[in-house]
Amino acid sequence: MRYVDEFRDGGLARRIAERLALAVEPGRRYNFMEFCGGHTHAISRYGVTDLLPPEVNMVHGPGCPVCVLPIGRIDNAIEIASRPEVILCTYADTMRVPASGGLSLMRAKARGADIRMVYSAADALRIARDNPAREVVFFAIGFETTTPPTALALLEAVREGLPNFFVFCNHVLTPAAIANILESPQVRAIGTVPLDGFVGPAHVSCVIGSRPYEYFAEEYRKPVVIAGFEPLDVMQAVLMLVRQVNEGRAEVENEFTRAVTPEGNARAKALVAEVFELRRSFEWRGLGEVPYSALAIKPMYAAFDAERRYGIAYRSVPDNKACECGAILRGAKRPQDCRAFGTVCTPENPIGSCMVSSEGACAAHYTYGRFRDAPQANRRGAEGAKERASPAGGESIPPAHRKPTEVA
Partner 1 sequence: MSAAKRDYIRPVDFRSGRVDMTHGGGGRAMAQLIEELFLAAFDNEWLRPMNDQAVFALPRGADGGRMVMATDSHVVSPLFFPGGDIGSLSVHGTVNDVAMSGARPLYLAASFILEEGFPLADLKRIVESMARASREAGVPVVTGDTKVVEQGSGDGVFITTTGVGVVPDGVEISGDRARPGDQVLVSGTMGDHGVAIMSFRENLEFETSVRSDTAALHRLVAAMLAAVPGIHCLRDPTRGGLAATLNELARQSGVGIRIEERAVPVRPEVSAACEFLGLDPLYVANEGKLVAVCAPEDAGRLLAAMRAHPLGRDAAIVGEVVADPHCFVQMETAFGGARVVDWLSGEQLPRIC
Residue 123 binding partner 1, by CB under 8 A: yes
Give the closest residue to 168 by CA, choosing from 208, 124, 203, 123.
124
Residue 377 binding partner 1, by CB under 8 A: yes
Q: Give the binding range for partner 1 (CB under 8 A) out of 45-53, 80-88, 205-213, 255-263.
A: 45-53
Residue 49 binding partner 1, by CB under 8 A: yes
Q: Give the binding range for partner 1 (CB under 8 A) out of 37-45, 285-293, 299-307, 333-341.
A: 37-45
CA angle 24, 206, 356 (to 5 degrees): 80
Distance CA 386, CA 330 (A): 27
Residue 66 binding partner 1, by CB under 8 A: yes
Residue 190 binding partner 1, by CB under 8 A: no
Q: Work out which of 20, 23, 58, 64 binds partner 1, going by CB under 8 A.
A: 64
| 383: enclosing H helix or E strand | helix 381-384
Distance CA 143, CA 386 (A): 36
Q: Work out which of 30, 166, 276, 366 binds partner 1, going by CB under 8 A.
A: 366
Are 147 and 272 in contact by the 8 Å Cβ rule? The answer is yes
Residue 385 binding partner 1, by CB under 8 A: yes
Give the closest residue to 180 by CA, choosing from 33, 375, 335.
33
State CA 217 to chain mean position distance: 20
Q: Work out which of 118, 169, 237, 241 binds partner 1, going by CB under 8 A.
A: 118
Distance CA 150, CA 138 (A): 9
Contacts of 313 (CB under 8 A, 6+ apart): none
Distance CA 22, CA 369 (A): 26
Residue 33 binding partner 1, by CB under 8 A: no
Residue 41 binding partner 1, by CB under 8 A: yes
Total residues at interface with partner 1 (CB under 8 A): 65
Scan residues 335-364 and list those touching partner 1 (CB under 8 A): 346-348, 357-359, 363
Contacts of 47 (CB under 8 A, 6+ apart): 368, 381
Residue 13 binding partner 1, by CB under 8 A: yes
Site string (192-211) toward partner 1, x via CB under 8 A: -----------x--------
Residues that bind partner 1 (CB under 8 A): 1, 4, 8-10, 13-14, 17, 36-38, 41, 44-51, 64-66, 91-93, 95-96, 106, 117-119, 123, 126, 141-143, 145-146, 203, 231-232, 346-348, 357-359, 363, 366-371, 374, 376-382, 384-385
